[in-house]
Amino acid sequence: MPKRIERVLLDRETIARRVEELAHEIAEDVTRHVGDIHVHSDNSKSITLVPLLTGSVIFLADLIRHLPLMMRIRMLAVSSYPGKSTESQGVTIESALPDDLSDQHVIIIDDILDSGRTLAAVRQTLVARGAASVKACVLLRKMLPTALSVPVDYVGFDIEDAFVVGYGLDYDGYYRNLPDVVTLTQEAMV
Ligand code: IMP
Ligand code: MG
C-alpha cells in the first residue's frame, strides 16, 4: 500500500474549534449589519449563503449548525482545478445563478483561497445580480501575496503555500472525506 498522507496540517479537533468560533463571528456581524435574524426572533429578514461546490460542503455542514440564523442556501458549481491540476486553470461557473438577489445579504462560502480568482469572479457575478451585500468566508487562505490581497471577510486559517486535501478539499476528486486537512505524498499525486 503506498503511503498517501504526508503530513497533517490541521487536525479535526482544531478545525471543529475554529469553525465554531467563525460561526460566532459571522452571527455577531450579521446581527450588527442586518439585524436580529436568529431563528427564534420574530421577523422576515434572512441571509443567503452561496457555498461553492464541491469543496465547501463539509465546511458548510459544520458551519451552519453553529449559525442559528434565518438563511437560505444556494449552491454554486464552480470549477477551476479540473482533474489532477494543482494550479488554477481559470474560473467557470457551471450552475444557474439565482435570478434576483435584490435586498439579499449574501455570504459566499468556499474551502480555500489560493489565486483568489474564484472568489473574485463569483463576487462580481453576485454583485451584478443586485445583492444588497456580498461577503465571503473561506476555511483556508494560503499565505501568498495573491490570496492575501483578495478582500475576504471571514477566514478560518492562514496556511502555508502547499497543496492540501481533506475536509472537503480534493485532488482529482479524491480525499474529500478525510477528516483532517493534510498534504499528500509525491506517490499519491501522480
Ligand atoms: P483560486 O481561484 O485559485 O483561489 O482557487 C480556489 C479553488 O481552487 C478552491 O475552491 C479549491 O477548489 C481549489 N484549490 C485551491 N488550492 C487548493 C488546494 O491546495 N487543494 C485543493 N483544492 C485547491
Ligand atoms: Mg473548489
Mean pLDDT score of the chain: 92
Taking the centre of ligand 1 as the mean of its atom positions, its distance from the CA of residue 142, in whole angstroms, is 9
Neighbours of ion ligand 2 (CB under 5 A): 55
Go through the chain and tell me how many residues it has. Answer: 190
Q: Residues lining ligand 1, CB < 6 A?
A: 52, 55, 80-81, 88, 110-118, 163-165, 169-170
Rounded to 5 degrees, what are φ and ψ at 187?
-60, -30
What is the rounded CA–CA span in Å between residue 175 and residue 115?
21
Half-sphere exposure of 148 (CA within 13 A, CB side): 8
Q: What distance in Å separates the CA atoms of residue 90 and residue 82, rounded to the nearest whole number? A: 10
Instruction: Write the CA distances from 136 to 2, 26, 128, integer angstroms.
Output: 38, 10, 16
Residue 10 makes CB contacts below 8 A (sequence gap 6+) with 157, 159, 167, 180, 181
Catalytic residue at 114? yes
Q: Distance between CA 94 and CA 92 in Å, rounded?
A: 6
Q: Which of 5, 155, 157, 169 to mutate to test the pocket of ligand 1 (most atoms within 8 A of CB)?
A: 169
pLDDT of residue 79: 79
Per residue in 38-65, pLDDT tens? 988 877 789 999 999 999 999 999 999 9
Q: Which of 15-29, 76-90, 134-148 has the lowest mean pLDDT?
A: 76-90
* Joined grid coordinates for residue 175: 480525499
CB atoms within 10 A of CB 184: 22
Task: Indicate the pTM of the whole model.
Answer: 0.94
Query: Confidence band (pLDDT; 50, 70, 90) for 181?
Result: very high
